[in-house]
Amino acid sequence: MRIIDLLTENQIEKARKFLNGFGLSFEDTYDEIIGVYVGEKLIGTGAYHKNVLKMVAVDKDYQNQDVLGLILTELIDRCYRAGYEHLFLFTLPSNIESFTALNFKLLITTSKAALLEYGNDINTFLNRYKDYVHEGENGGVVVNCNPFTKGHRYLIERASKEVDWLYVFVVREDRSTFSFEDRYKLVKKGVEDLKNVVVLNTGPYAVSSVTFPSYFLHDKKDTMISQIEVDLKIFCKYFAPFFYIRKRFVGTEPYCNITNTYNEMMKKILPSYGIELVEIERLKNGEGFVSASKVRKFLAENRIEEIKNLVPDVTYNYLLDLKEKEKLCSINIKGRH
Q: Name the class of domain 2-91.
A: alpha beta
Mean confidence (pLDDT) of the chain: 91
CA geometry: angle 53, 59, 60, nearest 5 deg = 120
Instruction: Check pLDDT > 80 for residue 234.
Output: yes
Structure confidence at residue 333 (pLDDT): 52
The string of pLDDT tens digits covering residues 59-115 is 999 998 899 999 999 999 999 999 999 999 999 899 999 999 999 999 999 888 899
Map out the domains of the chain as residue ranges. 2-91, 126-280
The HSE-up count of residue 293 (CA atoms within 13 Å, CB side) is: 11
7 in Cβ contact with 19 (< 8 Å): no
Task: Say what angle helices 180-190 and 313-324 make with each other, to 10 degrees.
Answer: 140
Confidence of residue 244 (pLDDT cuts 50, 70, 90): very high
Measure the CA–CA gap between 171 and 204, rounded to whole angstroms: 9
Indicate the burial class of 5 (C-beta count within 10 angstroms; 0-12, 13-18, 19 or more): exposed
2-91 and 126-280 share one fold? no
Candidate CATH numbers 1.10.760.10, 3.40.140.10, 1.10.8.350, 3.40.50.620; the one for domain 126-280 = 3.40.50.620
The string of pLDDT tens digits covering residues 189-229 is 999 999 999 999 999 998 765 456 666 666 677 788 888 99
118 in Cβ contact with 227 (< 8 Å): no
Structure confidence at residue 322 (pLDDT): 85
The string of pLDDT tens digits covering residues 151-171 is 999 999 999 999 999 999 999
Instruction: Check pLDDT > 60 for residue 128.
Output: yes
Confidence of residue 257 (pLDDT cuts 50, 70, 90): confident
CA geometry: angle 80, 36, 92, nearest 5 deg = 75
Partner residues linked to 45 by β-bridges: 35, 57
Cite the DSSP H helix spans in 57-203: 67-81, 96-100, 122-127, 150-160, 180-190
Structure confidence at residue 64 (pLDDT): 82
Tell me the whole-structure pTM to 2 decimals: 0.90
The string of pLDDT tens digits covering residues 8-65 is 999 999 999 999 999 888 999 999 999 999 999 999 999 999 999 999 999 999 998 8
The string of pLDDT tens digits covering residues 284-310 is 887 788 999 899 999 989 888 899 999
**How does DSSP classify residue 307?**
H
Measure the CA–CA gap between 111 and 93, rounded to whole angstroms: 7
Phi, psi dihedrals of residue 101, rounded to the nearest 5°: -65, -15
Instruction: Check pLDDT > 90 for residue 259.
Output: no
